[in-house]
A and B are shown apart, each in its own frame.
Chain A
Amino acid sequence: MEKPANPGTIEVPASTAWPFVLAVGVMLLFAGIVTSMAVSALGAVLSVAATVGWFREVLPREREEFAPVIPESIRLTTERRVVERFPVATDQVRAWLPVHTYPISAGVKGGLAGSVAMAVLACTYGVLKAGSIWYPINLLAGVVYSESLRLPGRLYSFHASSFGIALLLHGVVSLLVGLLYGAMLPMFPRRPILLGGMVVPVLWSGLLYTILGLLNPLLASHIDWFWFIASQVAFGIVAGFVVVRQSRIRTRENVPFAMRAGVEAPGLIPPRESEDKRQ
């Protein structure tokens, strides 16, 4: 902290009327448009005068005044000395929950495995019920590619564009949901398969069932909801199963990002000691 020129005082910006006068001037300048040119002229004069006055306040050096320091004895204490703690990790005073989690690779593996299970079931549906393996693939592409749904007959034949879009969509979404499972399942450790395999797919399917008719009625009319839910559940069970079979690692929320990312570089020393000295 810089030392004040006068002991026992602290420099603060000096009060000034120029900002107020300038604001009045600007307001009158505009108000003249709907009242009288004389009002605008007065506003202009006030604005110029206030601008000059303001500049003289801050140039060559901004005007300040000295506020006397008021002696006070402020005690920062608390009556709540005792702090309750969750007994989640006996070796830690404070724990980042969940104490153990899955590595990112677990989510990737789960997502990819779930995507295969879902695709197998969806294609089975296509062959057995719809009469074409390409039907569910074209339908999936129809989520973002309206051409895929334009003609009813188009759904039953192979189209490279629809196939490419469906493949990309299926892969990316499966990967992201797998990552989500990897992050979420440790937070619900009691019945992860029930949550990941049943509850989440059913909730997701319910949400889609209620809104898809509004968002895309044409797409909704082509969906067989029983098979849709079955394929969602297949994804959930397989992805959840693969995720929970991976070995867990300790949560490292409190470790700097560079260390979590495995960067080995000079300067990555424990933060607490270094932090204190820098201040």
Chain B
Amino acid sequence: MSSDAITMPGVNIDDRAWVDVLHRWLTTVDHKRLGILYILYALFFLLVAGAEALIIRIQLIHSHNDFVSPQVFNRMFTMHGTTMIFFVVMPVLFGFANYLVPLMIGARDMAFPRLNAFSFWLTALGGFLLYFSFVGANGLYGAGNAPDVGWWAYAPLTARAFSPGHSSDYWTLALLVSGFGSIGTAINIIATILCLRCPGMTLNRMPLFAWLNLVMSGLVLIALTPLSAAQIMLLIDRYLGGHFFDAQAGGSAALWMHFFWIFGHPEVYILIIPAFAFMSEIIPVFSRKPIFGYPIMVAATIAIGFVSMSVWAHHLFTIGMSSYANSFFTITSMVIGVPTGIKIFNWLGTMWGGKIQFKVPMLFCIGFLFQFLIGGLTGIMQATAPVDWQLSLSYFVVAHFHYIIVGGIIFALFAAFYYWYPKITGRMLSETLGKWHFWLFLIGFHLTFDLMHIPGLLGMPRRIYTYEPGRGWDTLNLLITVGAFIQGIAIMIFVANLVISYFKGDVAGNDPWDAWTLEWSVSSPPPAYNFATIPVVESRRPLWDVKHPEDPDSRYE
């Protein structure tokens, strides 16, 4: 803060300081600050989407419940899904990529710092626009306020006849705006990784974190554009009398499904690949071994990226495709399990024979390995068209994808938080609170999502508002809701840990985990310029080389 600001007459010094802080954050182009903004923004929406999930679960806690109206219930599951995918998981992953990629590759900032800021604010304002619908869309034409058409927004539900007012428009516009932001960030990550690596950091020596974010960003460019195109087509339908998705006027409702899922399934990999990146950095450090099969890990990621573009129509088995299409998408959906399985084997290979340290980040990684495997296996089940015909749109599917999103991605995210929080803040997170967080979340997760498979198999449809008693669903739904609340408590402990440790946590130092990548070579938190001198690397583990000059990796790679 400048001294002029302090001495301005009539201005309270404290107020002025607050305004200065706000100004610094609003105008920042520093990748680290923008990364933190992404992460804080996502955490806020995690709490919002979590509250929506609890409302859904309270409504389903027993049969014939009317905790909320059917209309509000529809809004809750729509907003929960949309928020979690677009305004929690994507921003938080972009946040970590923003913060860590330049540090890991020895760069001073992202390739386009201003575009970086622009992209973040577009994403952020997209989310706020979505939630403004609760206020802004209320009552027009007697319609509801927040979007209520599910996070897929299938046609013809989004047609004017079935979705009067502006709720669907808010959904469309919010995703369009935030989608532009995501594309900007993806371009930035690609340019940064390809152009700003420090001397010696060949592609073959790049941390897997950077490799995986490179692939993820490529997928964003390919996958988000069809979604944006479809959003624009939907706006044309709703505002300019177009008929892209109007089956009665020569359009096709299935067209929307294809557009949505050609985005939607690669989106799953857009979300899970950064989670793989966290695993690939954290597991070696806490196993005290280098990653097993680095080239294969890179190849498997690229293979996942390619194959993920050809699996989308397994979401459409029930709409009646040809047997050739069913066979093709069954095979591709099973094939993508191969490179994914290779990754799991390689993480296990990394742990095998290592001196495993069961710190909180590693606990979350181990949880990830088990849960992601199970979620993947139920995915393989549903990749088989006849099985999918039975289970589609049931709670089995809900359990499956929450196993991936929560059991996989959210567990990986928590691992990342515990691992990199010391670098970002300079303070260690409390291990005790961390273990409470881990065990409660683990118990809550399994109580909720293990049991959720069963009502699905018993025929409970997803998005159902309430149900008749005596179908065998009541006790299961009660336990599932209890599990959801346990997860909620665990997340509150996590948030408390973030806040308390920020002020009272142990000082971290620059390298609290005895790690090997470049971000641990600078102070915590890093200075604005990251590196006073641009580093030169000679292997995939530059800090190992420094710490073990008698036996550097560079001698063997």
From known contacts A19-B114, A76-B546, A86-B353, infer whether A279 and B29 are also in contact, taking CB-CB under 8 Å.
Answer: no
Q: Which residues of A contact B302 (CB under 8 A)?
A: none
Interface string of B533-548 (1 = CB under 8 A from A): 1101010000100111
Contact of B121 among A14, A23, A33, A67 (CB under 8 A): A23
The reply on B431 being an interface residue by CB < 8 A is no
Is B177's CB under 8 angstroms from A78's CB?
no
Selected interface stretch from A24-32, A116-124, A224-232: A24-32
User: Which residues of B, 21-70, contact A by the 8 Å Cβ criterion?
Assistant: 24, 26-30
Given contacts A13-B29, A72-B523, A76-B521, A1 and B114 within 8 Å (CB-CB): no
Distance of A34 Cα from B135 Cα, bound (Å):
12
Contact residues in B for A161 (Cβ distance below 8 Å): none
B118 touches A10 (CB 8 A): no
Instruction: Give the chain B neighbours of A10 by CB distance below 8 A.
Output: 108, 529, 532
Across the interface, A279 reaches (CB within 8 A) one of B27, B166, B536, namely B536
User: A70 on the interface (CB 8 Å rule)?
Assistant: yes
Give bound CA distance, A17 to B511, whole Å.
34
Contact A27 B125 (CB under 8 A): yes
Our pick among A14, A27, A54, A254 for the contact of B556 (Cβ within 8 Å) is A254
Partner of B514, one of A78, A84, A215: A78
A18 surroundings in chain B (CB, below 8 A): 114
A77 within 8 A of B: yes
Interface flag for A269 (CB, 8 Å): no
Q: Tell yes or no: B384 within 8 A of A by CB.
A: yes
CB <8 Å contact, B109 and A76: no
A58 on the interface (CB 8 Å rule)? Answer: yes
* Inter-subunit contact A19/B173 (CB<8 Å): no
**CB atoms of A83 and B551 under 8 A apart:** yes
Q: How far is the CA of A34 from the CA of B169 in the complex (A)?
A: 7
- Residue of A27, A93, A94, A272 with highest tally of chain B CB at under 10 A: A27
Which residue of chain A lies nearest to B327 when distances are taken between CB atoms in the complex? A215
Is A23 a contact partner of B122 (Cβ separation < 8 A)?
yes
**Chain A interface bracket (under 10, 10 to 19, 20 to 34, 35 or more):** 35 or more
Question: Does B510 reach chain A (CB closer than 8 Å)?
Answer: yes
Contact with B along A235-279 (1 / 0, CB 8 A): 000000000000000000010000000000000000010011001
The answer to whether the Cβ of A160 comes within 8 Å of any Cβ in the partner chain is no
Q: Which residues of B contact A59 (CB under 8 A)?
A: none
Q: Is B235 close to A, CB under 8 A?
A: yes
Residue numbers in B under 8 Å from A17 (CB-CB) = 26-27
- Chain B residue at minimal CB-CB distance from A4: B529
B115 to chain A: which residues have CB within 8 Å?
A: 19
Contact of A34 among B170, B532, B551, B556 (CB under 8 A): B170
Mark out the residues of chain B between 477 and 527 whose CB falls within 8 Å of any chain A CB in the assembled complex.
Answer: 510-511, 514, 521-523, 527
B538–A19 CB distance below 8 A? no
Q: Is B270 an interface residue (CB 8 A)?
A: no
- Interface contact A16-B114, CB-CB below 8 Å: yes
Count of interface residues, chain B, beta-carbon cutoff 8 Å = 64
In the complex, A81→B166 CA distance in Å? 64
CB-based contact B136/A34 at 8 Å: yes
Known: A27-B125, A34-B136, A70-B527. A76 touches B547 (CB 8 A): yes
Is there contact, CB below 8 Å, between B26 and A20? yes
Q: In the bound complex, how far is the Cα of B170 from the Cα of A211, in angstroms? A: 44
Cβ-based interface call for A151 (8 A) = no
**Chain A hits for B454, CB < 8 A:** none
A26 touches B122 (CB 8 A): yes
Taking the complex as formed, is A221 at the interface, i.e. its CB lies under 8 A from any CB of chain B? Answer: no
Name the residue of chain B whose CB is nearest to the CB of A66: B529
A-chain residues with CB within 8 Å of residue B15 when the two chains form the complex: none
Distance in angstroms from B538 CB to nearest chain A CB is: 7
Q: Does A5 contact B (CB under 8 A)?
A: no
Whether A20 contacts B27 in the complex (CB less than 8 A), given A12-B109, A13-B109, A279-B199, comes out as yes
Closest B residue to A2 by beta carbon equals B534
User: Is residue A15 contacting chain B, with contact meaning CB distance below 8 A?
Assistant: yes
A69 interfacial by beta-carbon distance below 8 Å = yes
Q: Does A91 contact B (CB under 8 A)?
A: no
Partner of B114, one of A58, A67, A81, A254: A58
Q: Give the distance to chain A from B179, nearest Cβ to Cβ, in Å.
A: 11
Give the CA-CA distance A67 to B109 in the complex, in Å: 13
B551 touches A93 (CB 8 A): yes
B529 touches A67 (CB 8 A): yes
In the complex, what residues of B have CB within 8 A of residue A76's CB?
510-511, 521, 543, 546-547
Hey, what's the 0/1 contact readout for A22-48 against B, CB within 8 Å counting as 1?
111011001101110000000000000
The reply on A80 being an interface residue by CB < 8 A is yes
Residues A13 and B523 in contact, CB atoms below 8 Å apart: no
Complex: A69 Cα to B115 Cα, angstroms: 25
Tell me which residues from 76 to 108 in chain A have a Cβ below 8 Å from any Cβ of chain B. 76-81, 83-84, 86, 93-94
**B contact residues around A34 at 8 Å (CB):** 136-137, 166, 169-170, 173
Cβ-defined contact, A83 with B548, below 8 A? yes
What CA separation (Å) do A31 and B176 show in the bound complex? 11
Q: Is B226's beta carbon under 8 Å from chain A?
A: no
Q: Are A27 and B126 in contact (CB under 8 A)?
A: yes
Cβ contacts under 8 Å, A20 to chain B: 26-27, 117-118, 121
Find out whether the CB atom of A67 lies under 8 angstroms from the CB atom of B514: no
A128 interface residue per 8 A CB criterion: no
Contact partners of B538 in chain A: CB under 8 A: 275-276, 279
Check A272 against B527 for contact (C-beta < 8 Å).
Answer: no
Nearest CB on A from B365, distance (A): 20
B330 within 8 A of A: yes
Contact A30 B384, beta carbon cutoff 8 Å: no
Q: Which residues of chain A are within 8 angstroms of B528 by Cβ–Cβ distance?
A: 12, 67
Given A86-B353, A276-B538, A19:B117 Cβ within 8 A: yes
CB-CB under 8 A for A26 and B177, given A15-B29, A76-B511 = yes
Query: For residue A79, which residue of chain B has the nearest CB?
Result: B514
- Chain B residues whose CB sits within 8 angstroms of the CB of A31 once the complex forms: 129, 132, 173
Nearest A residue (CB) for B137:
A34
Cα distance, A23 to B117, chains bound together (Å): 9
Residue contact A35 to B136, C-beta cutoff 8 Å: yes
Q: Given A254-B556, A279-B538, does the pair A80, B125 have CB atoms closer than 8 Å?
A: no
**B181 partner residues in chain A, CB cutoff 8 A:** 23
B75 CB to nearest A CB, Å: 16
Chain B residues near A78 (CB-CB < 8 A): 514, 547-548
Taking CB atoms, residues of chain B closer than 8 Å to A23 are 118, 121-122, 124-125, 181
Q: B536's closest neighbor in chain A, by CB?
A: A279
Considering the complex, give the chain A residue whose CB is closest to the CB of B534: A1
Cβ–Cβ contact B384 & A80, under 8 A: no
Please determine whether B521 and A22 come into contact, CB atoms closer than 8 angstroms: no
The contact string, 1 if C-beta is below 8 Å from chain A, for chain B 148-188, is 00000000000000000010011001001100110000000
Nearest B residue (CB) for A78: B547
CB pair A214–B125 under 8 Å, yes or no, is: no
Q: For the complex, is B113 an interface residue (Cβ under 8 Å from A)? A: yes
Instruction: Give CA–CA (A16, B384) in the complex, Å.
Output: 52
- 16 CB contacts below 8 A, A to B, read A10-B108, A12-B109, A15-B30, A16-B117, A27-B122, A27-B177, A33-B239, A34-B166, A72-B523, A76-B543, A76-B546, A76-B547, A77-B547, A78-B548, A94-B556, A279-B200
Known interface pairs A15-B24, A33-B239, A275-B554; 20 further A-B residue pairs with C-beta atoms within 8 A, sorted by A's residue number:
A12-B108, A13-B29, A13-B109, A14-B29, A15-B28, A16-B29, A23-B125, A27-B122, A33-B169, A34-B170, A34-B173, A69-B527, A69-B532, A72-B523, A74-B510, A78-B514, A79-B514, A215-B384, A254-B556, A272-B554
Pick the 8 closest A-B CB pairs, nearest first: A23-B121, A19-B118, A19-B117, A10-B529, A27-B125, A13-B113, A15-B27, A78-B547
